Amino acid sequence: MTNEKKIIFIEGFEDKPMTKNNSPHCIFDTTLGKMGCFETDIINELKKLQPGHSAEIEMGTSTDGKYKNIRGLIGIRSGDDMIEEVKKQAPIVDRYVKPTSNNAHTTMYVSYAKDLFIAMLENPPVENTGETTMQLAINLVKQAQEAFK
């Protein structure tokens, strides 16, 4: 998500049900289109905007440009003048990949080993048991991992 500073007028808003993380969610109709906001402090400040006042915000846009979120509130404006500096910022949270171990690729390697194991059970390279086939699959994944470092 890329962030930009923008000045918007709020034309209306719609409260949405809480998200899975019990975060509030509000969709604002703005002069730049619909924008979501997930921060209670920012939502409350924007709902209090008086007619004719605008907000200077930090807007996040998804990489595909489909979604716009209000990530921060810099201040409230009347015309060109800043009448109240608010400076509320959404916490920076990486909502995507978080490794659960020191090796972020463990799940991927386990999946590769499983795929190799299944393929080798169907067409064994040599006569062996399932246990030795699994060890062979694991060794092949480790060998490939080392080769691509």
Segment 131-144 mean pLDDT:
78
* Lowest-confidence segment of 35-44, 64-73, 139-148 by average pLDDT: 139-148
Model confidence over 72-124: pLDDT tens digits? Answer: 888 877 765 555 555 555 544 444 444 455 555 666 777 777 777 777 767 76
- Cα Rg, the chain, nearest whole Å: 26
Model confidence over 25-35: pLDDT tens digits? Answer: 899 988 888 99
Q: What is the pTM of this model?
A: 0.52
Packing angle, helices 130-147 and 106-122, rounded to 10: 130
pLDDT of residue 35: 92
Cα distance between residue 15 and residue 8, in whole Å = 18
Tokens 């007028």 correspond to: 9
